[in-house]
């Protein structure tokens, strides 16, 4: 049972990022300014006032750099230019200027683990000889077997299949293999080569000089591969041989996952932090999928990243006890290194939480695999209810909060997208067995029924078609409508800002909870969630925000609802 001690206290004069609400834009799908069906920077700039109304502090953009788009821009061919799909550098400058006017900072996605195979560095590596400095920028190895016909080790690609591809040398003979933890169009860089570090120093400075508030760093836990790149040991689960990851030591975790979370990568982060420190108040947030949270916290020590995405929280289902445990663990573990926790429920890689949180846990596909027409279909109404309750619980917590575009509309996952529209490499590398992440990347509905894409573009075009259900979630139908998810989010962000909850002090409130409810107090605001099944009486105090629109009338909080009360 929780006690009433203060579990987390925000330091005085906390920097902006310790309490910020950062909104993720997936540029392909936010808003289309030129009518070609693909979102772009112009579209974002036009819609920026809507985000200012929502009450966010910053935007993190998924990549918009030049790219052949084999992994929707996470395959960068030129780090210092904008892909023509999204506009050009002038559009970026205009966006930053307009955002600044509205008090919004712009965070750029940095993709350092790999380049596109179209990057000039990789082309040079292919043209050069084995062992050359050009090859040393990447991870090339001779194959195993008599004629080098077998991959150098047994590492699998995250997107399915093998993590190695064999090249044909300049003279036409079968040659070396290169490593790609993701798609074969995404060769991994060699971060043990100082030239790679130098190259990225310039990339960082390029965007910082251009007014970016900082970086979200892609695959931050993957840059350093284990020395010698040993095979992954296939776990022997017979006779209780293989331990679950939760019971492994750090060393065992590093051996079990030789390309994730190796302890060697931290000098790189410190070097980047020093660069950021040359500027005013810029930030870096790590995408580091390493568990447990005590290990993830190593990425946010005082001279490393400012923030790291709390994937432990993201992966926690709508379950009272599990939520209590992960919040405590987050505040304690990040607190130990002096960092704020972050809170996040959705992004462009996972099933949207309005679908995920109401989906049967035993049938939920693995992170990144997506739900397709052949999977059981979700309960949409239950998803709406739980997602609103979960977001309202989350946005009262102290620390940095992330919102993924569309969650403020309550958008569910597109779970019936036909194969012919899919673009995620996972779908192709697994022959459709894993449908992948397109279902959370569908374009946003802005104005219901104005055209086929509900105003995402002026022409109705949309690179991924919206499901029929998106029409009713359109922004204009929710704007100014009491009880809508959009108005709920606006209210939550306003109260959060007005009362300084992001920079608040947290304690559990056992005096307000029972075995079906969870309650905490942040800076004098009680946040109470009911996990059901019965309604509970709402404690006295001013209701600041609630997922249950009629709460004031009823005076009771129903199941899967959350309320904020000023005590
Ligand atoms: C990260 C991105 C994901 C991308 C992968 C490879 O996990 O969030 O979208 O596919 O890295 O860059």
Ligand 1 centroid to Cα of residue 74, in Å, is 6
Contact assessment for residue 34 and residue 86, using Cβ atoms and an 8 Å cutoff: no
Annotated catalytic, 218? Answer: yes
Tell me, using a 6 A CB cutoff, whether residue 349 lines ligand 1: yes
Pocket test for ligand 1, best of 179, 287, 349, 402 (most atoms within 8 A of CB): 349
Cα dihedral 546, 548, 549, 551 sign: negative
What CA dihedral angle connects 205, 207, 208 and 210, to 10 degrees?
Answer: 120
Tell me, using a 6 A CB cutoff, whether residue 57 lines ligand 1: no
CA distance to 179, 203, 359, per residue, from 217 (Å): 20, 12, 30
- How far, in Å, CA of 563 to CA of 508, rounded? 15
- Nearest in space to 411 (alpha carbons), one of 471, 358, 492: 471
Pocket test for ligand 1, best of 107, 113, 182 (most atoms within 8 A of CB): 182
Query: What would the two tokens of residue 243 be?
Result: 């331990």
Question: SS3 letters for 102-137?
Answer: CCCEEEEEECCCECCCCCHHHHHHHHCCCCCCCHHH
**Domain regions of the chain by residue span:** 16-112+195-224+261-478, 120-179
pLDDT tens for the chain, 567 residues: list them.
457 899 999 998 899 999 999 999 999 999 999 999 999 999 999 999 999 999 999 999 999 999 999 999 999 999 999 999 999 999 999 999 999 999 999 999 999 999 999 999 999 999 999 999 999 999 999 999 999 999 999 999 999 999 999 999 989 999 999 999 999 999 999 999 999 999 999 999 999 999 999 999 999 999 999 999 999 986 555 555 567 788 888 888 899 899 999 988 899 999 999 999 999 999 999 999 999 999 999 999 999 999 999 999 999 999 999 999 999 999 999 999 999 999 999 999 999 999 999 999 999 999 899 999 999 999 999 999 999 999 999 999 999 999 999 999 999 999 999 999 999 999 999 999 999 999 999 999 999 999 999 999 999 999 999 999 999 999 999 999 999 999 999 999 999 999 999 999 999 999 999 999 999 999 999 999 999 899 999 999 999 999 998 776 678 999 999 999 999
Quickly name the fold that domain 16-112+195-224+261-478 has.
TIM Barrel (3.20.20)
SS3 of residue 93 by DSSP = helix
Residue position matching structure tokens 């949309």: 462
**Nearest ligand 1 atom to alpha carbon 289:** 7
SS3 of residue 256 by DSSP = helix
Write the residue with the smallest CA distance to atom 9 of ligand 1: 349
Ligand 1 centroid to Cα of residue 537, in Å, is 44
Contact assessment for residue 347 and residue 437, using Cβ atoms and an 8 Å cutoff: no
- How far, in Å, CA of 262 to CA of 219, rounded? 12
16-112+195-224+261-478 and 120-179 share one CATH topology? no
Ligand 1 centroid to Cα of residue 72, in Å, is 9
Quickly name the fold that domain 120-179 has.
Oligo-1,6-glucosidase; domain 2 (3.90.400)
CA atoms within 13 A on the CB side of 490: 17
- How far, in Å, CA of 346 to CA of 404, rounded? 6
Contact assessment for residue 558 and residue 548, using Cβ atoms and an 8 Å cutoff: yes
Tell me, using a 6 A CB cutoff, whether residue 438 lines ligand 1: no
Instruction: Provide the residue count of the chain.
Output: 567
Contact assessment for residue 461 and residue 35, using Cβ atoms and an 8 Å cutoff: yes
Contact assessment for residue 321 and residue 301, using Cβ atoms and an 8 Å cutoff: no
- Nearest in space to 10 (alpha carbons), one of 20, 23, 25: 20
- How far, in Å, CA of 133 to CA of 135, rounded? 5
Looking at residue 276, what DSSP letter applies? Answer: H
CA distance to 30, 48, 303, 452, per residue, from 273 (Å): 30, 29, 6, 45
Bridge partners of 164, per DSSP, are: 179
CA distance to 195, 216, 327, per residue, from 271 (Å): 14, 16, 31
In sequence order, what are the residues at sequence separation of 6 or more whose Cβ sits closer than 8 angstroms to the Cβ of residue 145? none
List 278, 281, 498, 511, catalytic entry: 278
Q: Per the confidence metrics, is the pTM higher than 0.95?
A: yes
Contact assessment for residue 183 and residue 156, using Cβ atoms and an 8 Å cutoff: no
């Amino acid at each position: 049972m929780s006690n009433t001690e203060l579990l987390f206290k925000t330091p005085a004069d906390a920097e902006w990022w310790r309490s910020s609400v950062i909104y993720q834009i997936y540029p392909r799908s936010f808003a289309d300014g030129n009518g070609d069906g693909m979102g772009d920077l112009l579209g974002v700039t036009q819609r920026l006032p809507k985000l200012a109304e929502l009450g966010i502090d910053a935007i993190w953009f998924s990549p918009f750099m030049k790219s052949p788009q084999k992994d929707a821009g996470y395959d960068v061919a030129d780090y210092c230019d904008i892909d023509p799909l999204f506009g050009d550098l002038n559009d970026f400058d205009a966006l930053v200027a307009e955002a600044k006017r509205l008090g919004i900072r712009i965070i750029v996605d940095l993709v350092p683990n790999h380049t596109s195979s179209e990057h000039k560095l990789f082309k040079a590596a292919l043209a050069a000889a084995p062992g050359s400095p050009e090859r040393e920028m990447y991870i090339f190895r001779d194959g195993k077997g008599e004629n080098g016909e077998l991959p150098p080790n047994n590492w699998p690609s995250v997107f399915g299949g093998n993590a190695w591809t064999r090249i044909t040398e300049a003279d036409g003979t079968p040659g070396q293999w290169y490593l790609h933890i993701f798609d074969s169009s995404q060769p991994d860089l060699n971060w043990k080569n100082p030239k790679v570090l130098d190259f990225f120093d310039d990339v960082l400075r390029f965007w910082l000089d251009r007014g970016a508030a900082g970086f979200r760093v892609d695959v931050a836990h993957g840059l350093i591969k284990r020395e010698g790149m040993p095979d992954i040991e296939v776990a022997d689960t017979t006779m209780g041989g293989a331990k679950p990851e939760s019971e492994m030591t750090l060393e065992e975790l590093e051996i079990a996952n030789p390309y994730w979370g190796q302890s060697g990568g931290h000098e790189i982060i410190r070097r980047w932090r020093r660069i950021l420190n040359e500027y005013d108040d810029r930030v870096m947030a790590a995408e580091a999928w390493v568990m447990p949270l005590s290990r993830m916290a190593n990425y946010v020590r005082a001279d490393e990243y400012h923030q790291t995405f709390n994937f432990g929280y993201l992966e926690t289902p709508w379950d009272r006890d599990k939520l209590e445990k992960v919040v405590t663990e987050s505040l304690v573990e990040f607190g130990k290194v002096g960092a704020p926790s972050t809170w996040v429920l959705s992004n462009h890689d996972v099933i949207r939480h309005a679908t995920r949180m109401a989906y049967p846990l035993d049938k939920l596909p693995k992170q990144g695999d997506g739900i397709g027409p052949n999977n059981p279909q979700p309960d949409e109404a239950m998803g709406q209810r739980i997602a609103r309750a979960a977001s309202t619980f989350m946005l009262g917590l102290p620390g940095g909060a992330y919102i993924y575009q569309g969650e403020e509309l309550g958008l569910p996952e597109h779970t019936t997208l036909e194969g012919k529209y899919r673009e995620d490499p996972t779908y192709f590398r697994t022959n459709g067995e894993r449908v992948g992440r397109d279902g959370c990347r569908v374009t946003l509905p802005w104005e219901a029924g104005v055209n086929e894409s509900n105003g995402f573009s002026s022409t109705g075009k949309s690179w991924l078609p919206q499901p029929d259900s998106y029409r009713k979630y359109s922004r204009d139908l929710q704007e100014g409508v009491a009880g809508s998810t959009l108005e709920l989010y606006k209210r939550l962000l306003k109260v959060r800002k007005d009362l300084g909850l992001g920079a608040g002090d947290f304690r559990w409130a056992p005096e307000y909870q029972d075995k079906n409810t969870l309650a905490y107090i942040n800076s004098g605001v009680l946040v109470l969630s009911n996990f059901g099944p019965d309604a509970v009486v709402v404690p006295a105090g001013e209701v600041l925000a609630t997922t249950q629109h009629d709460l004031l009338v009823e005076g009771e909080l129903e199941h899967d609802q959350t309320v904020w009360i000023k005590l």
